[in-house]
Amino acid sequence: MTEKLLDKEVLMNYVNGEWIEANETTDVINPATGESIIKVPLSSQEDVDQAVKAAKAAQKEWALVPAPMRAEVLFEVGRIMKEKKEHLSKLLTMENGKVLEEARGEVQEGIDMAYYMAGEGRRLFGQTTNAELKDKFAMSVRAPIGVVGLITPWNFPIAIATWKSFPAIVAGNAVVWKPATETPLMANELMKIFIEAGLPKGVLNVVFGSGGTVGDALVNHKDIRVISFTGSNDTGRRIAAKCGEQLKKVSLEMGGKNAVTVMDDADLELAAEGIVWSAFGTSGQRCTACSRVIVHEAVKEDLEQLILKKIKELKIGNGLHDDVKVGPIINKAGLEKIKSYIKIGKDEGAKLIAGGNELTGDEYAAGLYFEPTVFTDATIDMRISQEEIFGPVVSLIPVGSFEEAIEVNNSVEYGLSSSIFTRDVNKVFKAQRDLDTGIVYVNAGTTGAEIHLPFGGTKGTGNGHRDSGVQALDVFTEWKAVYVDYSGKLQRAQIDVE
Ligand code: UN1
């Protein structure tokens, strides 16, 4: 399988239209099998400098290409991605572990983003406005910012890369991109697709490597005008502080502690399905994963039984096999973190009713697998109810009313996604108003954002910016106010007003 899908043993950076070999590399491990599948560069600060230099030069030309023509490249990227969808999906499963069905979904998300942002090439709407003086015209236009630095995570290595790079490129910026070293195959493939689609050299540059070296070099580079980052809160906070010192624009998408709320009038069968899908799909390794269930005490036991029944149907294993529903955990550090939270939950007095263990039998020996895990009778003050675990672990928190459910939902430092299952239309509208998260679902789980809507969260999840949707263009453009005075005389604003 491995040999057929991969045509080389070492990946290269792509800078200024050329593939560049690195001096140092590290292994990329398939988390389902423990095998090394390829080597990825660990680049240096000099590699970043080269890429930024190339991007800076290329950006000047690229910004002069009319946006509808820039968009033609994205239409072509979308077409090629569609043609290669199956190949990309298999590679994605190999490097990330997510099951093939979900990998296909993620690649589709990238294809959708390509066509959507390509369409933006013919919009990139600004605004015309009335000026306060006679014979004067006023408008606000979007201008590209320059060179942007992208730092993307391993859990959605192609979708998130498209959320950021496509709007950046269609808006006339040039990009230096540091993909996660755990999942470089998607970056390599996307780069190849851009080349085939005819993107001019230097507009997109890929530099693989560690956060400590390549990430820092991007964040600190004086010619990088904006950083867009998705990843952990600790790293995001450090990046924000460094960008703050330099007055550099930064867009952050970080953690979540997303909850499904189940009211006493809910369709419980549907709620259980939504919970199991959004808690254990992708082995819980989504920023949007459900990790809390806020359940009305009147239906708590029935809901528990339904969840336990559905968990039994989840086959765990290598995501390339058709019947598998839950793949491996990305790496040892991720697995250890999950294990530590199982201990924390038990010590805090939550009741473990399913899972809780790493799978180590013959079938699982080579990979990193963890059972879908359910705690119940958790309280909101527990660490398992507050902190992001990033694994297949969910905690049920019983509540006595709708108002209490909303309060519990909002009592965490994060604000990415939330959901409510209810048949009461009044509760639906109150919930969408009162849930303090960037994404709200009604009668669905917490995952499944579509690319033409803004993706991001409130509070500790981010810093007010959004990925995807037309709103992503706000990250990668400056608003420029343009005044054209055609009166032929000096007209002073605020003074010569009649
Ligand atoms: C992420 O978890 O970082 O809404 C992205 C979803 C997907 C994207 C998740 N469309 O779950």
pLDDT tens for 143-172 read 999 999 999 999 999 999 999 999 999 999
- DSSP three-state, residue 447: coil
Q: Which pair of structure tokens corresponds to residue 288? A: 């949007």
CA proximity to 215, closest of 178, 174, 252: 178
Regarding the beta carbon of 156 and ligand 1, being less than 6 Å apart is answered yes
Residue range 424-440: mean pLDDT, rounded: 98
Q: Which of 113-122, 154-163, 247-256, 361-370 has the lowest mean pLDDT?
A: 361-370
Digit-coded pLDDT (tens) for 35-78:
999 999 999 999 999 999 999 999 999 999 999 999 999 999 99
Q: Which pLDDT score is estimated for 6?
A: 85
CA proximity to 276, closest of 255, 295, 291: 291
Domains in the chain, start-ordered, CATH in brackets?
2-254+462-481 (3.40.605.10), 258-442 (3.40.309.10)
Regarding the beta carbon of 447 and ligand 1, being less than 6 Å apart is answered yes
Regarding the beta carbon of 119 and ligand 1, being less than 6 Å apart is answered no
Question: Residue 12 pLDDT more than 60?
Answer: yes
Question: Residue 114 pLDDT more than 90?
Answer: yes
Regarding the beta carbon of 105 and ligand 1, being less than 6 Å apart is answered no
Regarding the beta carbon of 441 and ligand 1, being less than 6 Å apart is answered no
Digit-coded pLDDT (tens) for 78-96:
999 999 999 999 999 999 9
Q: Is 253 a catalytic residue?
A: yes
Regarding the beta carbon of 287 and ligand 1, being less than 6 Å apart is answered yes
DSSP state of 462: B
pLDDT band at 4 (very low <50, low <70, confident <90, very high): low
* Distance in angstroms (rounded) separating the CA atoms of residues 250 and 231: 13
| Ligand 1 nearest-atom number relative to CA 278 | 11
Q: Which pair of structure tokens corresponds to residue 190? A: 């996307």
What are the C-alpha distances in Å from 214 to residues 37, 41, 46, 424, 449? 22, 11, 9, 51, 30
In angstroms, what is the span from residue 310 Cα to ligand 1's centroid? 22
pLDDT band at 3 (very low <50, low <70, confident <90, very high): very low
Q: Which pLDDT score is estimated for 305?
A: 98
Residue range 401-410: mean pLDDT, rounded: 98
Question: Residue 203 pLDDT more than 80?
Answer: yes
Q: Which pLDDT score is estimated for 458?
A: 98
Q: Which of 254, 290, 418, 455 to mutate to test the pocket of ligand 1 (most atoms within 8 A of CB)?
A: 455
In DSSP terms, 439 is beta-bridged to 417
In angstroms, what is the span from residue 159 Cα to ligand 1's centroid? 8
Question: Residue 469 pLDDT more than 50?
Answer: yes
pLDDT band at 1 (very low <50, low <70, confident <90, very high): very low
Q: In this structure, are residues 96 and 154 in contact, taking their beta carbons and an 8 Å threshold? A: yes
Q: Which residues, 6 or more positions from 338, have their beta carbon under 8 angstroms from its beta carbon?
A: 329, 370, 389, 390, 391, 392, 393
Residue nearest to atom 11 of ligand 1 (CA): 447
Residue range 214-232: mean pLDDT, rounded: 98
Q: What is the mean pLDDT of the chain?
A: 97
In angstroms, what is the span from residue 328 Cα to ligand 1's centroid? 17
In angstroms, what is the span from residue 156 Cα to ligand 1's centroid? 7
Residue range 455-482: mean pLDDT, rounded: 98
Considering 109, 253, 371, 388, which one is annotated as catalytic? 253
What are the C-alpha distances in Å from 57 to residues 54, 67, 105, 146? 5, 18, 36, 10
Q: Which pLDDT score is estimated for 363?
A: 87
In angstroms, what is the span from residue 448 Cα to ligand 1's centroid? 6
